[in-house]
Amino acid sequence: MVDIKDLRRRKMMSGPFSPRLLAAVRASLERGEQAILFQNRRGFAPMTECPVCGWVPKCPNCDVSLTHHRNAGVMSCHYCGYATNVPEQCPNCDSREIRGRGYGTEKIEDAIRSLLPEARVARMDLDTTRTRNAYGQLIGDFASGRTNLLIGTQMISKGLDFDKVSVVGILDADSMLNYPDFRAYEHAFTMMSQVSGRAGRKGRQGLVILQTKSPGLPVVSQIVHNDYEGFYHDLLTERRDFHYPPFYRLTYVYLKHRDDNTVNSAGLELGSRLREIFGTRVLGPDKPAVARVKTLCIRKIMLKLESGLDYALARQYLRGALATC
């Protein structure tokens, strides 16, 4: 585990790479072995930003900022597919320094190519595997040693066994852990364990380097020590205490409308109807993390129903409330 928050503060990071990771990858390639770098974000940068005034381009249809895709020269929305050219000038302050903030797989690729020019780099994500044969080609090239450094999203985490991979770098564990979903830790644990499993094959020990800004989180050390039992126990306790599955069944009701006021008042009304029936089992309405998608404003109501309840009856009540709203 490498604490990148501390390293960043001491200005010891080379872009997204800690000295430890960079040295390990370099040594691995020099020994004629291979390395994998895992970053679960495609594109060049998750955000586009004007560093002068802070302007951030947003999707006109959704409440998200646009992802920078430098190779294609566009910024795009990963929710609705909207894409537009990256402006040469900031529309707010006329600065010409518009740039991508954060690291997507494209930018990782650029960074590693300039730091390790002798590496034979390949990138595997949704953008490089759109054509029919691209996936097989990328895998084949890496398996045969034509390439020796593979950068990828979760696509690389499953079912790929390469004998010569001795180093796996997880560049940003926090982006997975901070995902706004109650299953974020579960998914992060699974994904990072699977990615880590790519290192070391046929009896040889591999090295996994996990970079994080939160080295103190119990889940991080559980991932590092492959402590599935401890992780499972903590997670289950939390799920029980906060009324989540498998102890409670969650039902989400989404309300969508072009007009935010309409969806807001409908949400409040439905919420209070449902509370008359289900009492404190009702949470919301709330705005979800992305509160507008494809021009529709969204509210979310959550029902937490304890196991053992008559779900068919609950569904009937729910439908009744929806019909009369």
Binding site for Zn ion (CB under 5 A): 50, 52-53, 55, 59, 61-62, 77, 79-80, 82, 90, 92-93, 95
- Cis link prior to 57 (omega < 30° from 0)? no
Least distance (Å) between residue 295 CB and Zn ion: 9
Of 50 and 138, the one with the shorter C-beta distance to Zn ion is 50
Of 76 and 226, the one with the shorter C-beta distance to Zn ion is 76
Residues 315 and 253: beta-carbon distance below 8 Å: no
Least distance (Å) between residue 65 CB and Zn ion: 10
The residues that bridge with 152 in the sheet, in sequence order, are 38, 124
Token couple for 98: 């518009």
Of 75 and 219, the one with the shorter C-beta distance to Zn ion is 75
Least distance (Å) between residue 290 CB and Zn ion: 9
Token couple for 92: 């707010």
Of 63 and 141, the one with the shorter C-beta distance to Zn ion is 63
Residues 41 and 103: beta-carbon distance below 8 Å: yes
Is the Cα torsion angle 274, 250, 61, 55 positive or negative in sign? positive
Of 55 and 244, the one with the shorter C-beta distance to Zn ion is 55
Least distance (Å) between residue 298 CB and Zn ion: 13
Strand order in the sheet with 207-212: 2-3, 207-212, 165-170, 34-38, 149-152, 121-124
The residues that bridge with 2 in the sheet, in sequence order, are 211
d(Cα 154, Cα 138) in Å, to the nearest integer? 15
Least distance (Å) between residue 47 CB and Zn ion: 14
Least distance (Å) between residue 59 CB and Zn ion: 3
228-241 and 184-196 are packed helices; what angle lies between their axes, rounded to 10 degrees?
Answer: 170
Residues 166 and 204: beta-carbon distance below 8 Å: yes
Of 82 and 244, the one with the shorter C-beta distance to Zn ion is 82
